[in-house]
Structure formats: structure tokens, C-alpha cells
Amino acid sequence: MSFFGFGQSVEVEILLNDAESRKRAEHKTEDGKKEKYFLFYDGETVSGKVSLALKNPNKRLEHQGIKIEFIGQIELYYDRGNHHEFVSLVKDLARPGEISQSQAFDFEFTHVEKPYESYTGQNVKLRYFLRATISRRLNDVVKEMDIVVHTLSTYPELNSSIKMEVGIEDCLHIEFEYNKSKYHLKDVIVGKIYFLLVRIKIKHMEIDIIKRETTGTGPNVYHENDTIAKYEIMDGAPVRGESIPIRLFLAGYELTPTMRDINKKFSVRYYLNLVLIDEEERRYFKQQEVVLWRKGDIVRKSMSHQAAIASQRFEGTTSLGECPPHTQGKTDPYPDPTQHLPSPCPWPQGTMMTSMGLNEEQKEFQKVAFDFAAQEMAPNMAEWDQKELFPVDVMRKAAQLGFGGIYVQTDVGGSGLSRLDTAVIFEALATGCTSTTAYISIHKKWE
């Protein structure tokens, strides 16, 4: 940006330190176009330089101070100009004075809290941006750079199926079921529709994905419904006792995570709308809310919390090269499968819990896998063997952490890890139950 005054002009540019390696994400602008912005996550540090390039090297630029801000704000379109800031961080780069030559100022906002996902809707916009300001007596010189924030979630602990009925007395009785109530943005909605009573002539049936944006409060509440997708289930008349499967892939649609009461300004919710149309063009429908969330990679983004739990579990309780007290003195470093121990020794005596030569990311993989093995597998291993149980629920939990499609690329739902990463993970999982780990390893890739 250029500023002209007193014969001097300056170009201001904001440069991120990791611009070459940082991922970019497409985001819809207010005019409906898509542009790519640098992608950040909650808790990440934002650092870089503010570069000032003077156009006239023989003249000085007087200023009243230079600063950089990191801002998160919500703007309601019906109340333009009144921005609601929920994040506001400021760094002073220079005191009032003069600049006689082009120069750059370093800045760093450490572990910035970014609680909400970037969003551009029909009546509201939530944005994050950096703003560099050179204060002048007449007009300030301002440069802004937008970034995009994605909020990542872990698999919900409770994710019950949805079962509902649609009925018209003595005419129609339908039961339908969806396998879950919470779906990540690349998930697949699986379900079935059962026709228990059909005495009207249905010619068409579809499922719609509806996004409902709610803005404002009190009397100034605005609702905007947008049909994101229409999925035709059936074209023709069903008969009593017929069952129709549903399989709807979400990856191809423009969806955001569910947002509820964001800073008490707006909400974004999603609904599955079952629509039936009879031969007289009468419409029957049933609507059910579902929760959408953004899935993170196995550990690159969303497993740091799990790693912290693992660290707390092992730190301070066991020295490197030793086993926990309840296993000391045993010749076999792994627990007897016929005995129920509170927690097995997750590594052989005389070895270190964390292997030498691993990078920080691989150590984090290892910690998460150790913690999962100790919490979910080891306490149940003896019971599985004695009762000949196949622990499907635990294997699903492992898959939810990303321990399933480890070699599969992230854009199709996998973890996109290397063979060394895989070896680190399964070595740690095997400390909880070797046979269960073997079954999990079968699904590490697509053959």
C-alpha cells in the first residue's frame, strides 16, 4: 500500500516466516468467489515481518509509531461498520520517529487462541487478519492480510444413531435410520428407510442437506436456509415391507463445521431433510439436525492433546529403563494374559520408552499410541483372550485416532504417514495387545 504526503511514499508488506511451507486453503469471499489464504489452527504461533519500502530514498518518513495487530472479528451485514472483535493482540514495532531507509520489523504472536472457524455466510462474516499500521498526523498507512482458521475436532465419544418415523394415519408409515448423528466433513451418511405402510402413491423421494444460518438476537433475528445438496433416493412407488439403503458422501459439498452461538452473534446448523412427493405433487417431509465437524490428521493437528495425556501418564511415574513397580521382578516384560494388571510395562526392561533417533512428530505418534494401548487395550486384553472376544469397539476407536488407513492420503480420509511412522505406532500399540494390533495393522493401507 502506498501513502503520499510530504513528498514521501511507502509500500507496506506483511510477510509470514513460514510462508513457503505453510498450507493454503480455499475460502469463499463475500462476493461468492474462492481465494486461497494461509491456513492456521487454534494455538499456532503467527510470526513474520512487516516490510517498509520507501519510494524516495533521499526523503524521510515521519511517523507517530508503527504497530502490528492480530484480530479476529465478526461482522453482521445488516450492521456494517460495527465490528465485534473477539481476538485483539497488538505488538508495537517502533516508537514515534523518522524512517530514512527501507527496513523490516519482526513480530511474533505466540500460541494465538483462535476459537472459531473462519466463515463467510449470507448475513455474517467471521475473519482473522493481520493489520500493520504506520500512524501519521494526517492519515495512517494501513496494510491488512487475511488468514483462514480451521477448527479441528476429535471423534465424539457419544455418536448415537438417529431413528425417526414419518406417518399419516391409515395412509403412510415410514421408519428411517441414520447410522450416526455427528459426521466429519468427509464422512459418509449411511442409513435405511423402511416402508411399513404405503397407501398413497409416492413418485419421488429425496434427502436434502440444508444449512441454516441464524444471525442476530431478539427481534433482529434473521434465518437463511440454503439447500446444499439433493440426493435422490427413489423414483417410483414403493411397496409395503420395502427397504431402501442410503449412502451419501459429504466430501463433494461445500460444508463447514456446525457453529452454535458463536460469540452470541450467529449460528450455523445442518439438517437432513427427508422429502416425499406423491402423484398429486403433495410434499411430505421430516427434518433432523446433524452435527458436522472437521477431522484433523492423525497427529499433525489434533493429537497434541492425546500426547499431553500420554506424557502425564508416564512422566514422573517411571524412570527410563525401568518398568512400573507392579511389573518389576518379572522375567517377562509383558503381562501374563491370564492376569489382570492395572497397566502393563509398555517397554522391555533396560530399554527407553521413547526410541532414539525419532523426530518430534514421531515421538508424539508414539506417546499417543502408548497411551491408547495402556488405557484401551492392556486392561481388557486378558478378558478378550479368556472369553474369545473380538474388540470391534476398540478397533474403531483406534481407527478414529487415525490408526486405520495410515498410508492412505489425507484428502481421502487417511493419515498419509510413512512406513517408519507406521512402525513406531504399531510397536507402541502392541504393548497393549499384540493380536489386536495385528488386526488393526491389516487396515493400514489400500492394497
Q: What is the DSSP letter of 155?
A: P
For residues 250 and 186, is the Cβ–Cβ distance under 8 A?
A: yes
Does residue 430 carry a pLDDT above 80? yes
For residues 373 and 431, is the Cβ–Cβ distance under 8 A?
A: yes
Q: Which fold has domain 298-306+358-446?
A: Butyryl-Coa Dehydrogenase, subunit A; domain 1 (1.10.540)
Residue with the larger pLDDT of the pair 40 and 358: 40
Q: Encode pLDDT of 68-92 as tens digits.
A: 999 999 998 888 778 899 999 999 9
For residues 181 and 161, is the Cβ–Cβ distance under 8 A?
A: yes
Over residues 214-237, mean pLDDT? 84
Residue with the larger pLDDT of the pair 50 and 385: 50
- Please state which of the ranges 133-137, 144-148, 304-308, 396-400 shows the lowest mean pLDDT: 304-308
DSSP secondary structure of 319-383: -TT---GGGTT-SSSSPPTTS--SS--SS-TTS-SSPTT--HHHHHHHHHHHHHIIIIIHHHHHH
Tell me how far apart the alpha carbons of residues 32 and 30 are, in angstroms, rounded to a whole number.
5
Tell me how far apart the alpha carbons of residues 193 and 247 are, in angstroms, rounded to a whole number.
11
The C-alpha cell at 66 is 508503527
Tell me how far apart the alpha carbons of residues 124 and 126 are, in angstroms, rounded to a whole number.
7
Structure confidence at residue 400 as a pLDDT band (50, 70, 90): confident
Does residue 153 carry a pLDDT above 70? yes
For residues 300 and 119, is the Cβ–Cβ distance under 8 A?
A: no
The 3-state secondary structure of 16-81, one letter per residue = ECCCCCCCEEEEECCCCCEEEEEEEECCCCEEEEEEEEECCCCCCEEECCEEEEEEEEEEEHHHCC
Looking at the chain, the number of H-run helices and the number of E-run strands are: 6, 22
Give the list of residues 6+ apart from residue 408 with CB closer than 8 angstroms, or none: 414, 415, 416, 445, 446
Tell me how far apart the alpha carbons of residues 236 and 381 are, in angstroms, rounded to a whole number.
51
Give the list of residues 6+ apart from residue 87 with CB closer than 8 angstroms, or none: 70, 71, 72, 73, 112, 113, 114, 115, 128
Q: Which fold has domain 10-149?
A: Immunoglobulin-like (2.60.40)
Q: What is the DSSP letter of 153?
A: B
- Please state which of the ranges 60-69, 126-135, 294-303, 317-326 shows the lowest mean pLDDT: 317-326
Residue 370 CA, distance from chain mean position = 23
Q: Which fold has domain 162-293?
A: Immunoglobulin-like (2.60.40)
Does residue 409 carry a pLDDT above 70? no
Domains of the chain, by residue range, sit at 10-149, 162-293, 298-306+358-446
Q: Is 162-293 in the same CATH topology as 10-149?
A: yes
Structure confidence at residue 414 as a pLDDT band (50, 70, 90): low
**Alpha-carbon distance values, 202 to 169, 234, 275, 359 (Å):** 16, 9, 11, 61
